[in-house]
């Protein structure tokens, strides 16, 4: 089992819709969870982080964490074409930051 | 500089040659990570430095790969006797948090390595 797993996609949503990105992780001791966005040919950039169970909202983005289920998700409301990118889930495992393979999102105008 | 600096940005080498990739983290950041990203793939963890502690080398794919971090700042990733499968973008990232469990990573622009 991989340490961090994501559906590779591609995920395609129409402009204005909600995009839902999911991630599971294997290490129950993980303490912090991150979502990074990576545009084609660019380096990853941090969108959100979450440490506690529940929801965390920042503008159009909501991160959800369920430690019991070892599951973290990212919701993007009112999706825009500029949100088209690969979204990487990252989990801090004892100081090591491990990434999922990423989900490619396309938002169609 | 304000961000993580990596050099060279592009490197083309012949199979069997050695290469060195350099990373200059954000000033004051104690944690430094190296990742490898092949075309269309996710980030593969290579090595992690935290302060003066022994590095976590568990991600290095073979003994041809090594890395060091001098003075707790600049890091060099060395690949000996390069192979074509080493072709990838090598990303360096640094983090401020001394409690590494909560560190947010800031990435450099990467070094694109092509082995002919």
Q: Within the 57-86 window of chain B, which residues sit less than 8 Å (CB to CB) from chain A?
A: 58
The pLDDT assigned to B102 comes to 65
Q: Do A95 and B31 touch (CB under 8 A)?
A: yes
Condensed to tens digits (0 to 9), the pLDDT of residues A9-19 reads: 899 999 999 99
pLDDT at A93 over 90: no
Write down how long chain B is. Answer: 116
DSSP A9-77: --EEEETTSPEEEEEEES-TT--EEEEEEE-TTS--EEEEEE-SSEEEEETTEEEEEETTTTEEEEEES
> What are A29-88's pLDDT values in tens digits?
888 899 999 998 899 999 999 998 999 999 999 999 999 999 999 999 999 999 999 999
- pLDDT exceeds cutoff 60 at A102: yes
Check CB contact of A96 with chain B, cutoff 8 Å: yes
| Contact yes or no for B42 and A31 at CB 8 A | no
Count of residues making up chain A: 109
Closest CA to B42 of A106, A33, A6, A19: A6
Measured between CB atoms, which of B56, B104, B106 is closest to A96?
A: B56
């Amino acid at each position: 089992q991989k340490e961090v797993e994501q559906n590779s996609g591609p995920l395609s949503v129409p402009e204005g819709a909600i995009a839902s990105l999911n991630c599971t992780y294997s290490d129950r001791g993980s303490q912090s969870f991150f979502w990074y966005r990576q545009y084609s040919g660019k380096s990853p950039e941090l969108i959100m982080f979450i440490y506690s169970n529940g929801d965390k909202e920042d503008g159009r983005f909501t991160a959800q964490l369920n430690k019991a289920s070892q599951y973290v998700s990212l919701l993007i409301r009112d999706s825009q074409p500029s949100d088209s990118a690969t979204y990487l889930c990252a989990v801090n495992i004892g100081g090591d930051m491990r990434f999922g393979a990423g989900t490619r999102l396309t938002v169609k105008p | 500089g304000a961000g993580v600096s990596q050099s060279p940005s592009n490197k083309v080498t012949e199979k069997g040659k050695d290469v060195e990739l350099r990373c200059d983290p954000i000033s004051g950041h104690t944690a430094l990570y190296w990742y490898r990203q092949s075309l269309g793939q996710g980030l593969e963890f290579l090595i992690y430095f935290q302060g003066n502690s022994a590095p976590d080398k568990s991600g290095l794919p073979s003994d041809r790969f090594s890395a060091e971090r001098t003075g707790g700042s600049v890091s060099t990733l060395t690949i000996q006797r390069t192979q074509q499968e080493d072709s990838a973008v090598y990303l360096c990232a640094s983090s401020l948090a001394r409690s590494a469990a909560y560190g947010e990573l800031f990435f450099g622009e990467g070094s694109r390595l092509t082995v002919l």
